[in-house]
Amino acid sequence: MSLFEANCLELVRSIVLRRVDAKRFAVFLFGSRAENNARHGSDIDIGIWGDEKFPRRTIAEIQEELEESIIPYHVDIVDFATVNDDFKQIALTHVIPWNLPQNISVSLPL
């Protein structure tokens, strides 16, 4: 990963974590960037998972802030409380946690 890509990921991380209740939701990177096999131009996949659905309005606000930033990559934000188990099984094979609250019932593979 280049320094530029690392800086972009850090900016995505800070934008997302600024709008997520850190006591109620886990936040993590998944997909090709978490597996360290992203290609030039690959999107950035962010998972959010808690004991309840993450507010859609907040996802829209995060997306808007990301689109207005200097990040040249598409960022997908996925609420794992709303996806099926087959998707979870595949997506959770490799994650990089950004926030792991202790008081929620979900657990991420580390």
Q: What is the pLDDT of residues 10-22, one digit of tens each?
A: 999 999 999 999 9
Count up the domains in the chain and report the number: 1
Residue 18's domain is classified under what CATH number?
Answer: 3.30.460.10
Q: What is the pLDDT of residues 39-91, one digit of tens each?
A: 888 999 999 999 999 999 999 999 999 999 999 999 999 999 999 999 999 99
Rounded distance, CA 50 to CA 22, Å?
10
> Is there a domain that residue 20 lies in?
yes
> Is there a domain that residue 104 lies in?
no
44 is in which domain, residue-wise? Answer: 3-99
> Is there a domain that residue 107 lies in?
no
> Is there a domain that residue 15 lies in?
yes
pTM of the model: 0.89
> Is there a domain that residue 108 lies in?
no
